[in-house]
Amino acid sequence: MSNVLNFNAGPAALPRPVLEKVQAELLDYQGRGMSIMEMSHRSKEYEAINTRAEANFKKLIGVGEGYRVLFVQGGASSQFATVPMNFLPPGATADYIVTGSWGEKAIEEATLLGKPHLAASTKEGNYKRVPTQSEIQLSADPAYVHLTSNETIQGVQFHDFPDLGDRPVVADMSSDILSRPIDASKFALIYGGAQKNLGPSGVTVVLIRESWIEKANKGVPTMLRYSTHAKNNSLYNTPPMFGVYVLDLVLQWIDGLGGVEGVAKINDAKAAALYNAIDNSGGYYKGHAEPASRSSMNVTFRLPSEELEKQFVAEGQKAGMVGLAGHRSVGGIRASIYNATGLEACQALASFMGDFAKKNG
Ligand SMILES: *Cc1c(COP(=O)(O)O)cnc(C)c1O
């Protein structure tokens, strides 16, 4: 058994019990003599997975009737375009709150399709925090307001969402979906690629308010219309079956840990271990995010020099810790600690940080 501690940013660690179940079922799914990947997506076996995954996702995120869960392809990056395609009517405005690199990409795509309004940006200061309520300048009548709940690259997260009145709120939750309790009923649409907190890459989860689906623009190509996937229970065309199958197992695993409340307790302890290591280093480690906006999923920090950062990553790797190099666009160190990365891994990294600072301080 390998003892790698996986801090990859995405694709990222998957729960060990889920991987073991996948392995056990790979050659013979429920006595059918073949894997789930080799069956029809119209089979009763796959239909059971599809139905259970939708129900469990709704239960875990805490919505009931009035919402649909869709399993689509193209990653969160495709959602950057499909949201305005469907919900930014010609001549109307949509507001974007930008707190990092992914939010920038989202508004860029909207610019190809209409005239979005930058309602707030914390770019000045290099995305170290989320904006305060008073810094958010909404336009008069936006079709929707878009935000990124957790900026994966900068390590900046909304702990409380701003008050956006009754405007439809759209959130890219790719990197913190189902990592903590939220009031999902405040959102018209939530999306996320599965490969951080939910499963393998290849499936994108969309939670959408049913009453909003009908308000979509006309003339959107069939596959890019939310209504197509809602009407057909995500079975309009061949879905990413293996991805949804693993996602279903991950959702059951989260449920078994006490749902999002259960995983949030563990996630808070994990993040605290690493932020304490930063705060107790006498300034050796410098966190990127301001304390009030610190992400509980991506812990980003710098060392006194780039040379030491390289050494930190290399020695971490030798100690079995992988994925610690910061994103190529910002440098530094990033430890991604999604649901499937355990508390022990974070404690091991915190202790490694203490030792490294002592030796190289
Ligand atoms: C990873 C990530 C994306 C991009 O996801 P893809 O599935 O690769 O398109 C978008 N937004 C956020 C917040 C992310 O973390």
Boundaries of every domain in the chain: 16-256, 259-360
The pLDDT of residue 2 is: 65
- Cα separation, 351 vs 110, whole angstroms: 44
Is residue 1 over pLDDT 70? no
> Strand ranges (DSSP E) for the chain?
5-6, 67-72, 95-98, 117-121, 145-148, 150-151, 156-157, 169-172, 189-193, 204-209, 286-287, 298-302, 321-322, 333-336
Question: From the CB of 80, is ligand 1 less than 6 Å away?
Answer: no
* Beta-carbon count within 10 A of 23 CB: 9
Given a cut of 90, whether residue 3 has pLDDT beyond it is: no
Q: Is the CB of 172 under 6 A from ligand 1?
A: yes
CA atoms within 13 A on the CB side of 22: 20
Chain centroid to Cα 187, Å, comes to: 15
What span, in angstroms and rounded, lies between the C-alpha atoms of 116 and 99?
16
**Contact yes or no for 86/220 (Cβ under 8 A):** yes
Percent of the chain beyond pLDDT 70? 99
Segment 181-208 shows an average pLDDT of 98
Burial label, 126 (beta-carbon count in 10 A; 0-12, 13-18, 19+): exposed
pLDDT score recorded for residue 168? 98
Ligand 1 neighbour 197 (Cβ under 6 A): no
- pLDDT (tens digit, 9 = 90+) per residue, 107-147? 999 999 999 999 999 999 899 999 999 999 999 999 999 99
pLDDT number for residue 331: 87
Residue identifier of the C-alpha nearest atom 8 of ligand 1: 75
State in Å: Cα 198 to ligand 1 middle.
13
Predicted TM-score of the model (pTM):
0.98
Residues labelled catalytic:
102, 172, 196
Q: What's the pLDDT score for residue 329?
A: 80
Outline where DSSP puts E strands in 149-216: 150-151, 156-157, 169-172, 189-193, 204-209
If you classify domain 16-256 with CATH, what class do you get? alpha beta
Q: What is the CATH number of domain 259-360?
A: 3.90.1150.10
Mean pLDDT (whole number) for 213-234:
97
Structure tokens at 336: 């991604």
Q: Are strands 117-121 and 67-72 parallel, antiparallel or unpaired?
A: unpaired
73 lines ligand 1 (CB under 6 A): no
